[in-house]
A = this chain, B = another copy of it.
């Protein structure tokens, strides 16, 4: 699982094994929760399961869960590693992935996307109506699953993160075709629409280990901060890939942001630093009105102001900040493993 994303050094292999077995449990819980007594519902869920990609959120739940454990080294050494991952970890992991998948299904309605993870999207196959309700079904199933835990705290965290996520999407829609979008608003959108759920995943992992009443525990706060910064870096990288990637490497439709009138960091930086931005604005407007022919010229102009590098630098600074938060968690193999994941988030090409 993680091997596809990062090179795991020898000394972290035993931790990787724990995470891999937790991952198996996450996948089982995920599949079981979506089983329906209605055949047509089952069929659609099976199709959607193919969307599962990097599984970043469950990975972070499990890793943060392990990293938050003050006895991690002892448990690994004494062969009691089966005590590291509990039902709370694996349920939380499945819940986060299910909420994320619901947003993918609804995003595809919004974006009118036809390709997702190299397969046809549900809305391209079955229409927007089915996509909307199927996304709702995934969200409801996620909440139902989350509420099987004994405490209402995880439901509170997931409910809040989801509401914040939606407010970020609404803020983004409100700023569609706003070519004066400023940096603070861009970051506000990112923090809400992406970082809130990734932060929640890290928090849930830590709380599953330390107890759901430990929200103010320094380790929990550190991992929540780690996830939030990492989420911002992740979305910046996504925005770069949407601009510079190709459908073949990224695995989903690209160039959608501009088409949908969404200004992202490379363009905000470019417009702020270009000596003659009239031509850039002309091209941006044309693209967001459906004429994609100007994309290569725009990309050249964006590169000319060094805006791709500046964006990558910005993503890197959030990764650095995320890694710094890890100073406040217990010493052990969890920290270097999370650092590896953090680095991978911005070096990925898909």
Could you tell me which A residues sit within 8 Å of B by CB distance? Answer: 36, 38, 40-41, 44, 102-103, 106, 109-110, 126, 128-130, 132-137, 139-141, 143-153, 155-156, 158-160, 162-163, 165-167, 169-171, 173-174
Further contacts, 20 of them, CB under 8 A, given A136-B139, A147-B155: A40-B171, A41-B167, A106-B133, A109-B128, A110-B132, A132-B132, A132-B135, A133-B169, A134-B170, A136-B136, A137-B167, A140-B165, A141-B159, A143-B143, A143-B159, A144-B160, A145-B159, A147-B156, A149-B152, A150-B152
Q: Are B173 and A106 in contact (CB under 8 A)?
A: no
Among candidates B143, B149, B162, B173, residue contacting A129 with C-beta atoms closer than 8 Å: B173
How close is A177's CB to chain B, nearest CB, in angstroms?
12
- Would you give 6 A-B contacts (Cβ < 8 Å), ordered by A? A103-B136, A109-B128, A139-B140, A147-B159, A152-B155, A155-B155
Q: Are A129 and B147 in contact (CB under 8 A)?
A: no
A339 to B129, CA, bound (A): 36
**Chain A contact residues, majority secondary structure:** helix
How close is A293's CB to chain B, nearest CB, in angstroms?
25
Answer whether A173 and B110 are a contact pair too, CB < 8 Å, given A38-B167, A128-B128, A147-B156. Answer: no
Q: Are B134 and A163 in contact (CB under 8 A)?
A: no
Among candidates B137, B150, B153, residue contacting A163 with C-beta atoms closer than 8 Å: B137
Q: Are B150 and A133 in contact (CB under 8 A)?
A: no
Q: Are B171 and A38 in contact (CB under 8 A)?
A: yes
How close is A269's CB to chain B, nearest CB, in angstroms?
24
Q: Are B133 and A173 in contact (CB under 8 A)?
A: yes
Number of copies: 2
Q: Are A166 and B151 in contact (CB under 8 A)?
A: no
- Measured CB to CB, the nearest residue on chain B to A136 is B166
A170 to B109, CA, bound (A): 16
A296 to B245, CA, bound (A): 56
Residues of B within 8 A of A174 (CB): 40
Residues of B within 8 A of A136 (CB): 102-103, 106, 135-136, 139, 162, 166, 169
A162 to B137, CA, bound (A): 7
A171 to B129, CA, bound (A): 12
Q: Are B137 and A159 in contact (CB under 8 A)?
A: no
Residues of B within 8 A of A158 (CB): 143
A91 to B126, CA, bound (A): 37
Residues of B within 8 A of A144 (CB): 156, 159-160, 162-163
- Measured CB to CB, the nearest residue on chain B to A133 is B169
Residues of B within 8 A of A173 (CB): 126, 129-130, 133
Q: Are A159 and B133 in contact (CB under 8 A)?
A: no
A148 to B151, CA, bound (A): 11
Residues of B within 8 A of A103 (CB): 136
Q: Are A170 and B133 in contact (CB under 8 A)?
A: yes
- Measured CB to CB, the nearest residue on chain B to A37 is B167
A36 to B41, CA, bound (A): 34
Residues of B within 8 A of A134 (CB): 166, 170
Q: Are A170 and B130 in contact (CB under 8 A)?
A: yes
A170 to B40, CA, bound (A): 8
Answer whether A162 and B133 are a contact pair too, CB < 8 Å, given A128-B128, A155-B155, A170-B41. Answer: no
